[in-house]
Structures are given as C-alpha cells and as structure tokens.
Copies of this chain bind each other. A is one copy, B any other.
Amino acid sequence: MKRLTALDLGFIYLEKRNQPFHVAYLNLLTPPADAPPDFVQKLVERLRSYAAPLPPFNQRLETRLGAAYWVDEPEFDIDQHVIHLSLPRPGRVKDLLAMVSRMHASHLDRAYPLWRTYVIEGVEGGRIATYSKVHHSVADGIAGTRLTLRSMSANPDEILPPPWAVPPQGRRERAGNILTAPVSGAAKLVSRFRGAFGSVPGVARELRQSMRESRDKHPDFVSGSSAPPSILNHSISASRRYVAQSFSLPDAKTAGKVLGGTVNDMVLAMCAYALRKYLIDLDALPDKPLIAGVPMSTRRDRSETGNQIGFMLVNLGTHLEDPLERLQTIIASVEHNKQRFIKMKAGEVVGYGATLMAPGLLNMLTNPKRGKLAFNLVISHVPGPRTPLYWMGCSVDGMYPVSVVVDGMALNISLTSLQDRIDFGVIACRRTLPQVQRVLDYLGEGLAELQALAAKAPQTA
C-alpha cells in the first residue's frame, strides 16, 4: 500500500465523464504463416496464464480517510483485464479503428487495477490486433511504450512475457521531485502544482521566456505570442474518432536529408500540411499559425532509465501556403527551441505530464492573457528500434499510439517511428472535429509534398 504521487493523483482528479485519462497502443500484427486456426484462442489463453501481474499492474486505487492509495489486489481476476474480441467480416481496418474509438471512450473501472488488453481477431489480410490501455496514473506514454517494446523481440521465435509480467527493472523510473512525492488530498495537490510551476528555474518561467524570445526572433510569431483560437480548442464530447496509418520512414528521412531537417522536422511538416488542409476544408484555418506542444525525449543512449523529457512550442506555419516557407518556419522554430532546450532535469516529468493532464493550467501559466492558448495541440513522437519486431510469434506491422484529448484540446497526434515506418495515431473528439480520417490522407499528401520539395532542391552531392 502506498500513497499516490501528486502527478498520479492529478490524473485521477482531472478525469471526467467526457474525458477519460488513459493512454493506449493499437498494435497491428501478422500471425506466423503456419499459425493453426485456434492461434488467437491459444494466444489469449497464454496471455491469461500470466495471471499474477507485477506492480503496478496488480494494484488498484483505494481511498481511505480522504487519501488515495495504491493497494495490492489479493483476488486479481485476469478475465477482467484480458479480453478476446473479433471484427465482423471482412474486418476492414476502418472497422477496427471504429472499434478502438469506442473502446478508448470507455472508462476503466477504478475498483480494479487500471489497465486492460484486448486481442482482436479477424482483421483483413489474416491479421490480428491488440488494443492495450492503461490509466495515465499508472504509466505515462513513454513508460507504456518502453513496456510494450520490452514484451517484443527481434526474434520471431522468442515469446516474452506481456507488459504486466515484465519484471519491474526500469519501470516507472521518475526523477524524484515535488510532483512525484506522495500527496494526501486535493487541496495539497493544487498547492503542490503551484509550487512546482512557481519554482526557479520553473517550467512556466522557462516557457514564458521561450515565448518572449520566439516573438522577438521569429517574425512569423505574430503579436500576442499566443496560439490562435481554433476549432481544435473547443470543449469535447465523450465520443472519440481514432484513425491510424503507417508512412514510410525512409521517405521522410531521405526528404529530410535533402531539405536539411530531421525526421521529427518532417513529421511536424506533415502535420502542418495536414492540419492546414483539414482546417481549410472546414473553413476554419486561423490567420495566425497553429502552435504545437511537442514533448521530446532527449535520451541519447539506449538505457531505459534516466530519460530526459523536454517540451517545446513549435510554430507550424499553417498560415503559409508555400511549402518551403512553411518547412523553414518549422525548422527555425525547432532549432530555436533546441538551442535553449528546456531540459527540466529535476522536474522532467512536469512538462510532459502537465501538457497532457492540464493544458489549461499550462496555458494559463505560460500566457498572461486570460483565455489565450500557448499551443493548439500536442504532437508526440516516440522513436523506437529500427529492427523488425515480433510479439508472441506475430510480426508487428504497426504500433499506433492512442492518446488523450481534453476540453480545450480536442485533437492529439501521436506517433512512433519503428523499423521502416512512422506509425501515426490521430485521436479527436468525434463531435467537435468532423471527418478526422481526412487528416490521415493529408499526412500522406504532406509527405509527398516534402518529397516533391526535395526533388526540386539543388543536389548537395
């Protein structure tokens, strides 16, 4: 039994009827060629055989005398956590995404450990999928990615334990700070957050400073230094639209090489193109550029501990029609951020966590004018290994993040770059943002635009 940290408790308190606070992965898998007809049945049985999870997957939330604790569940019930589903024929990916949209809109039951894995058979092309969700108070996106990857192998024949049975080494490592210490109640939680943001060198001050400098150095940063109001920043319903697709990592890499940008720059440019076109369709493109909040791992090695997570505000140049100008704006904005990168060594989790959990709070703290936004959406990119991966004997064809949207932040674009793919997962409020599937098409067009730009660029070799 242990008390929740301030950060974890924050994820619990901020959860609302229209705003569940879990993160997930949708993994697309191809079973081995010689898989028997009952392959999925056996796979589910195998997963359920890991019926004694390790912490935190065996712990549930309990409130005693007003304080929240994680307590071990003595009667852990694996059937509550591993679910076997099937798509109706023909099992189009579109139907899979609709299913994931519904599942992601559904709350986890706080009377049980806060995670669930669905194995979904019947995806067209003989494929299967998993959708694995975990409450944000149990694992953040980075930890979730790491755990997911640790259950995969480069060897098709190697069967590793599922995430909930992975030994705790390297799990939930967080630098100790004011937010990761236990806290006992809502009032204390709020004061602790205030303390964290008010501390020197505080995140808020860093972000404010960053924005002031941006305003001075980048003429594209229009006056007010705030993100423009947009349809992306309306309040949300409880329903979701989730779409996902893979794009070619080598294509992005090649274009970036010619155009003088990283893969991440190319990803941001793809997003900028897609958002611009999507909002033009809706006649809702702001005159000022959209600003993306981009959590970035600054991990330089392969270690699983000691991540450094930064957070930058990127001018997406969505007001610019010329693709080269737009790309240059993005690259300049990223470069500027990098030079004075907010490392948040002590409070590394703060920026990332606060971004996802309380954009309103962060916005308020980073911008003096009430009602103005510091950023319009979060674009999150988690890089992974470049080798092919296998899970339970299946090849991993896609590993798409499913993130969180909140009131005032109705769209989230998250992606992993793995093997030779960039796996995009786009989640939105179904009601606020119509036809989000178009964003996928436009991401593809955005990549094609970058390739065309690269083809026209003067050859350096």
Contacts and interface: CB of A to CB of B under 8 A. Distances in A.
Interface in A236-294: 237-239
Interface in A111-157: 111-112, 121-122
State the oligomeric state as a number of copies: 2
B86 A89 contact: yes
Interface string A401-437: 0000000000000000000000000000011000000
B111 A238 contact: yes
A59 to B, nearest CB: 15
Interface in A81-101: 83-89, 95, 98
Contact of A85 (B41, B84, B88): B88
Interface residues of A, number: 30
Contact of A111 (B83, B87, B431): B431
A18 B238 contact: no
A237 B73 CA distance: 14
A105 interface: yes
A41 B109 contact: no
Give the dominant DSSP class at A's interface.
loop
A224 to B, nearest CB: 31
Contacts of A238: 107, 109-111
Given A18-B111, A109-B237, A237-B111, A86 B83 contact: no
Nearest to A238: B109
Contact of A41 (B88, B98, B105): B88
A206 to B, nearest CB: 36
A225 interface: no
A239 B431 contact: no
A111 B432 CA distance: 10
A76 to B, nearest CB: 12
A302 interface: no
Contacts of A89: 41, 86
Contacts of A431: 111-112
A17 B17 contact: yes
Interface string A69-84: 0000000000110011
Nearest to A102: B83
Nearest to A118: B102
Contacts of A87: 86
A430 B81 CA distance: 13
Contacts of A18: 109-111
Given A83-B102, A239-B80, A40 B88 contact: yes
Interface string A213-240: 0000000000000000000000001110
A430 B86 contact: no
B111 A239 contact: yes
Interface of A: 17-18, 40-41, 79-80, 83-89, 95, 98, 102, 105-107, 109-112, 121-122, 237-239, 430-431
22 contacts: A18-B111, A40-B88, A41-B88, A83-B102, A84-B88, A84-B95, A86-B86, A86-B87, A86-B88, A86-B89, A86-B122, A88-B121, A106-B106, A106-B107, A107-B107, A107-B238, A109-B239, A111-B237, A111-B431, A112-B237, A112-B239, A112-B431
Given A17-B17, A79-B98, 11 more contacts: A17-B107, A18-B110, A40-B88, A41-B89, A80-B239, A84-B95, A86-B88, A86-B89, A105-B109, A107-B238, A110-B238
